[in-house]
Chain A
Amino acid sequence: MNWIRRLVWRFEVLFSKKRVDQELDEELRYHLEREAQANVARGMSPEAARRAALLDFGGVEKTKEEVRDTRGGRGLDDLAQDVRYAFRGFKRRPGFALMAVGLMGLGIGASSTIYSVVDGVLLEALPYPDPESLIYVDSEGSNTYPDFLAWQENLSTVQDLSARAGADGSLTGQEGPVRVRISLVTPRFLALLGGRPLFGRLFDEEDQRENNPVVVLDYGFWVRNWGADQEVVGEQLRLDGEPVVVAGVLAPGFTPPEHVTGPEVDVWTLFDAQGWSAGTRESKTLRTLGRLKPGVSLGVAQAEMDALNASLAEDFPDHFIREDGSPKTFPLVPLRDATVKSVSSTLMMLLGAVGLLLLIACANVANLFLARGTSRADELSLRGALGASQGRIARQLLTESTVLATAGGLLGVAMAVLGVEVFKRFGPGDLPRLAEVAVNPRVLAFSLILAAVTGILCGAFPIAQAVRKDLSSKLREVPGRTTPGRKGNRVRDSLLVTELALTVVLLTGAGLLFRSLLERMEVDPGFHTAERVVLPLEVGDTYSVEARAQFVTDLRARLENVPGVGRVAASWVTPFMFPPGTCCWASRIWPADSEDPGTGKNTFIHPVTEDYFATLGVEIPFGREFAAEDFQGDGMVAVINPPLARRLFGTENVAGRQIMVGGNGPVTVIGVEAGHHHWASLESEVDEGVYVPYQTWGSWFGLLHVVLESGVPLQTLGPGLRAGIAELDPEMAMGELVTMDDFVSRSLATPRFLAILFGSFAAVAFLLAAGGVYASILYSVGQRRREMGIRLALGSRPNQVTRLVLGRAGALGVVGLGVGVAVALALSRLLSGLVWGVSVTDAGTYGGVCVVLAITTLTASWVPAFRASRTDPVETLKAE
Chain B
Amino acid sequence: MGKKKADLLQGTLDLLILKTLTLEPMHGWGISRRIRQLSDGVLEVGQGSLYPALYRLKDRGFVKTKWAISDEDRRVKVYHLTRSGRQALKAEADGFRLFVGAVVQILETS
A66-B48 in contact given A2-B82, A2-B83, A5-B82 (Cβ < 8 Å): yes
Q: Does A71 contact B (CB under 8 A)?
A: yes
The 10 closest A-B pairs by CB, nearest first: A72-B59, A71-B55, A58-B48, A70-B56, A66-B52, A2-B61, A70-B52, A34-B29, A6-B61, A31-B29
Q: Does B12 contact A (CB under 8 A)?
A: no
CA distance A27 to B83 in the complex (A): 24
CA distance A24 to B32 in the complex (A): 16
* A-binding segment of B3-11, B18-26, B72-80, B99-107: B72-80
Q: Does A26 contact B (CB under 8 A)?
A: yes
- The minimal Cβ–Cβ distance linking A766 to chain B, given in whole angstroms, is 54
Q: Which residue of B lies closest to A38 (CB)?
A: B33
Contact residues of B with A, CB < 8 Å?
Answer: 27-29, 32-33, 46-49, 51-53, 55-56, 58-61, 64, 74-77, 82-84
- Is A67 a contact partner of B60 (Cβ separation < 8 A)? no
- Is B56 a contact partner of A71 (Cβ separation < 8 A)? yes
Q: Which residue of A lies closest to B57 (CB)?
A: A70
Q: Which residue of B lies closest to A23 (CB)?
A: B77
A27-B51 in contact given A3-B61, A70-B56 (Cβ < 8 Å): yes
Q: Which residue of A lies closest to B70 (CB)?
A: A30
- Is A63 a contact partner of B51 (Cβ separation < 8 A)? yes
Chain A residues with CB under 8 A of B49: 66
Q: A31-B51, A66-B48 are in contact. List 5 more A-B contacts (CB 8 A).
A: A2-B82, A9-B61, A30-B74, A57-B47, A70-B56
29 sampled A-B residue pairs with Cβ under 8 A: A2-B61, A5-B61, A5-B82, A6-B61, A9-B61, A23-B77, A24-B55, A26-B75, A27-B76, A30-B29, A30-B74, A31-B29, A31-B47, A56-B46, A57-B48, A58-B46, A63-B47, A63-B48, A63-B52, A66-B51, A67-B51, A67-B55, A69-B52, A70-B55, A70-B56, A72-B55, A72-B56, A72-B59, A73-B59
Chain B residues with CB under 8 A of A34: 29
The count of residues in chain A whose C-beta lies closer than 8 Å to any C-beta of chain B is 29
- Is A59 a contact partner of B48 (Cβ separation < 8 A)? yes
Chain B residues with CB under 8 A of A6: 59-61
- The minimal Cβ–Cβ distance linking B33 to chain A, given in whole angstroms, is 8
Q: Which residue of A lies closest to B87 (CB)?
A: A2
Within 8 Å by CB of B64, from A5, A28, A58, A63, lies: A5
Chain A residues with CB under 8 A of B74: 30
Chain B residues with CB under 8 A of A73: 59
CA distance A811 to B60 in the complex (A): 59
Chain A residues with CB under 8 A of B76: 27, 30
CA distance A24 to B27 in the complex (A): 12
- Is B52 a contact partner of A31 (Cβ separation < 8 A)? no
Chain A residues with CB under 8 A of B48: 57-59, 62-63, 66
Chain B residues with CB under 8 A of A378: none
- The minimal Cβ–Cβ distance linking B82 to chain A, given in whole angstroms, is 7
- The minimal Cβ–Cβ distance linking B50 to chain A, given in whole angstroms, is 8
Chain B residues with CB under 8 A of A436: none
Chain B residues with CB under 8 A of A71: 55-56, 58-59
B-facing residues in A48-81 (Cβ within 8 Å): 56-59, 62-63, 66-67, 69-73
- The minimal Cβ–Cβ distance linking B94 to chain A, given in whole angstroms, is 20
- Is A35 a contact partner of B52 (Cβ separation < 8 A)? no
- The minimal Cβ–Cβ distance linking B8 to chain A, given in whole angstroms, is 14
Chain B residues with CB under 8 A of A27: 27-28, 51, 76-77
A35-B29 in contact given A5-B61, A58-B48 (Cβ < 8 Å): yes
Q: Which residue of A lies closest to B1 (CB)?
A: A42
- Is B53 a contact partner of A70 (Cβ separation < 8 A)? yes
CA distance A72 to B55 in the complex (A): 8
- Is B29 a contact partner of A67 (Cβ separation < 8 A)? no
Chain B residues with CB under 8 A of A26: 75, 77
Chain A residues with CB under 8 A of B64: 5
Chain A residues with CB under 8 A of B33: 38
CA distance A3 to B61 in the complex (A): 7
CA distance A34 to B84 in the complex (A): 30
Chain B residues with CB under 8 A of A35: 29, 47
